[in-house]
Amino acid sequence: MKNQLSKLLVTGFISLFAAVSYAQETPNQAISVAKAAIEQAVKAGASKDATDDLATANAWLAEAEKANSLIGAVVSMAISDDAKKNRADEIVYLASMAKIKAQTAEAKAKKQTIVTATQKVQKDLDGFLGALALAKSRHDEINKLKAELDKASNTIKDLEAKLKDMPKKD
Amino acid sequence: MPKTRLFSYIKHSLTLIGFSLLCNQVGAQSISPAQRQEFTDAKTEVNNVLKGPYQKYASSELRQAQTSLQNAEGANDPTKYAQNTRLARAQAQHAQAVTELGIETDRLADTTQALAKARDDIAQLSKSK
């Protein structure tokens, strides 16, 4: 009996958890997600590189929080279920706008960081390519000189051989 | 006589209330030209992203924007219409930002690779001397 009861309780908890997991996002959840997205954007440098989008995200979040305030909650107690659902949908919408704007700000800030890094790497690359071109031209010059040197030493060897072969005069 | 007056007063009041309710209802259920313009702007924004290399970088973001546009198109309620329109526009702008971020990330990877190759080439040249 006790075993059956505990099994029933476990099943009940699992069903409840599943139901909660599949339920639509609540206003509080949506606001928390938006806040986290804004924090993420600030960490990525949006306060410096994506000020407009970050400000818009904060404005949407402020609207969502205002609509979700305690007074709003008290008012919602006196309204119909349909009106409550509409109010919740409105808050989720406001928070979603805050989240999307924060994510846009984050992407823009990250892009700016990457552009700066690319410019630095490109500068290094230009320096290396210049050095490489110079090194290659010196290398070619050295090879040319070596070839000329080989040619000259061969000519000397030939001349020496000819000198040896020449009959000596008394 | 006063009874007739009262009756007439009630009749006119009811007519006025009925008319104002009707106006309110009509106003509440119609999508304004400004909202339609906003929808067109959102659609243009989505189409602009479609022209770029979004597929590689921001396909899921763009899909969300397209879904919101479809939700707006199917909405009879002007509030839902406006909300989905704004969501679509914001999601399209997000997709655009993610695409640009992806392009710049690839550019950085290419430049870093080119730098490593140039370093190797210089090292090999130095060795061959």
**Six-digit token pair at A30?**
């949506």
Question: Comparing C-alpha atoms, which of B84, A76, A80, B28 is closest to residue A27?
Answer: A76
Q: Could you tell me the end-to-end alpha-carbon distance of chain B, in angstroms, rounded to an integer?
A: 123
Q: What is the DSSP letter of A50?
A: -
Quick check: A16 pLDDT over 50? Answer: no
Cβ neighbour number for residue A16 with a 10 Å cutoff: 10
Q: Which one, of B48, B43, B45, B47, lies nearest residue B81 by Cα?
A: B43
Residue A114, pLDDT above cutoff 50:
yes
Whether residues B67 and B116 share a domain: the answer is yes
Domain identity same for B77 and B19? no
| Tens digit of each residue's pLDDT (9 = 90 or more) over A136-166 | 898 889 999 999 999 999 999 999 998 888 8
Do residue B53 and residue B116 come from a single domain? Answer: yes
CB pairs under 8 A between A and B: 70
**pTM greater than 0.90 (yes/no):** no
pLDDT of residue A84: 85
Assess A124–B contact: CB distance below 8 Å, yes or no: yes
Q: Which residues of chain B lie closer than 8 angstroms to A104, CB-CB?
A: 90, 93-94, 97
Percent of chain B beyond pLDDT 90? Answer: 66
Interface test with A, best of B108, B117, B120 (most A CBs within 10 A): B108
- For residue B37, report the phi and psi dihedrals to the nearest 5 degrees: -65, -40
Where are the domains positioned within chain A? 25-165
Structural domain harbouring B95: 34-128
Does the structure show a pLDDT above 60 at B108? Answer: yes
Asked if B64 and B106 sit in the same domain, the reply is: yes
| ipTM of the prediction | 0.75
Residue by residue, DSSP assigns A63-130 as HHHHHTSHHHHHHHHTS-HHHHHHHHHHHHHHHHHHHHHHHHHHHHHHHHHHHHHHHHHHHHHHHHHH
Torsion angle defined by CA atoms of residues A149, A152, A153 and A157, in that order, rounded to the nearest 10 degrees: 170
**Residues B59 and B24 reside in one and the same domain:** no
Q: What is the 3-state secondary structure of chain B?
A: CHHHHHHHHHHHHHHHHHHHHHHHHHHHHCCCHHHHHHHHHHHHHHHHHHHCCHHHHCHHHHHHHHHHHHHHHHCCCHHHHHHHHHHHHHHHHHHHHHHHHHHHHHHHHHHHHHHHHHHHHHHHHHHHC
pLDDT digits (tens, 9 = 90+) for B43-98: 999 999 999 899 899 999 999 999 999 999 999 899 999 999 999 999 999 999 99
Q: Which of A41-45, A148-152, A162-166, B35-39 has the lowest mean pLDDT?
A: A162-166
Does B105 contact A135 at a Cβ distance shorter than 8 Å?
Answer: no
Query: Is A21 a residue whose pLDDT tops 70?
Result: no
Q: How many domains does chain B have?
A: 2
CB-CB under 8 Å, A110 with B125: no
Spell out which residues of chain B touch residue A117, defining contact as CB-CB under 8 Å. Answer: 108
- pLDDT at position B126: 81
Q: How confident is the model at residue B129 (pLDDT cuts 50, 70, 90)?
A: low
CB A47 within 8 A of CB A112: no
Whether residues B47 and B18 fall in one domain? no
3-state DSSP assignment of residue A45: coil
User: A residues 87-106 near B, CB within 8 Å?
Assistant: 90, 93, 96-97, 100-101, 103-104
- pLDDT for residue A93: 96
A54 contact B CB<8A: no
Which chain A residues touch B97 with a CB distance below 8 Å? 104, 107-108, 111
Residues B40 and B73 in one domain: yes
Rounded distance between C-alpha atoms, residue A159 and residue A155, angstroms? 6
Which two structure tokens, joined as six digits, stand for B32?
A: 């304004």
Residues of B in Cβ contact (< 8 Å) with A121: 108, 111-112, 115
- The least confident of A121-135, B17-31, B32-46, B72-86 is B17-31
- In this structure, what are the phi and psi dihedrals at residue A35, rounded to the nearest 5 degrees? -60, -45
Tell me, yes or no, whether B50 and B113 share the same domain: yes
B91 contacts on A by Cβ (under 8 Å): 100
Question: How far does A66 lie from chain B, in Å, by closest CA?
Answer: 18
